[in-house]
């Protein structure tokens, strides 16, 4: 090893040889940059390239506008999808309410028919009351109409 460069493991005893070497180089670089009398290894200042800078600014502006347009379009699409979903949800809710009302109506009709059937069954069980069924009523009505028709023929 050269005399101006210390042994890396002596400078940083807890690190391995490779890690210590990197840290030693970094320490040397920092020491050189802190020493203003050392040789200047800075490159000469660059001349600004205004046309390339303007092109870069235009390109960035164009990309920003394009990104904004795309994000606006995505937002409009998302809003449209959300509105369709809300509309579909409201329609489904209305259909569910109508179905519920129809079910309640059908249930009420079924209960009324069941009550009527129970009342008729109670009447049939009572011994003193004559049993008149719907068929009996229909037959009696048909018989009366036949008699009226026969009487109307005989009157002619």
Tokens of 129: 């009351």
CB 17 within 8 A of CB 9: yes
Decide if pLDDT at 8 tops 60. no
Residue 114 CA: distances (Å) to CA of 44, 109, 120, 125: 104, 9, 10, 17
Q: Which helix H or strand E contains 7, and what residues bound it?
A: none
> Is a pLDDT exceeding 90 seen at residue 53?
no
Mean confidence (pLDDT) of the chain: 78
pTM value is: 0.40
Share of the chain above pLDDT 70, in %: 71
pLDDT number for residue 2:
47
Q: Which pLDDT belongs to residue 71?
A: 96
Q: What does the pLDDT average to over 68-78?
A: 97
Decide if pLDDT at 16 tops 70. Answer: no
The domain segmentation of the chain, as residue ranges, is 1-36, 78-128
Q: Report whether pLDDT(118) > 70.
A: yes
Report which secondary-structure segment, H or E, holds 50. helix 50-125
Q: ∠ at Cα 33 (31, 38), nearest 5°?
A: 90
Question: Which of 9-13, 16-20, 60-64, 88-92 shows the lowest per-residue confidence on average (mean pLDDT)?
Answer: 9-13
């Amino acid at each position: 090893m050269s005399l101006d460069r210390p042994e890396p493991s002596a400078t940083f005893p807890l690190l391995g040889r490779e890690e210590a070497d990197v840290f030693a180089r970094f320490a040397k670089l920092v020491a050189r940059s802190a020493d203003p009398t050392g040789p200047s290894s800075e490159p000469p200042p660059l001349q600004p390239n205004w046309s390339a800078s303007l092109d870069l600014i235009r390109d960035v502006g164009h990309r920003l506008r394009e990104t904004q347009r795309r994000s606006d379009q995505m937002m409009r699409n998302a809003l449209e999808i959300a509105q369709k979903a809300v509309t579909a949800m409201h329609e489904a809710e209305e259909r569910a309410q109508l179905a519920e009302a129809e079910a309640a109506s059908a249930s009420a009709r079924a209960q009324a028919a069941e009550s009527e059937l129970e009342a008729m069954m109670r009447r049939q069980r009572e011994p003193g009351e004559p049993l008149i069924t719907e068929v009996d009523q229909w037959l009696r009505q048909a018989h009366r109409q036949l008699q009226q028709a026969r009487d109307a023929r005989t009157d002619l």
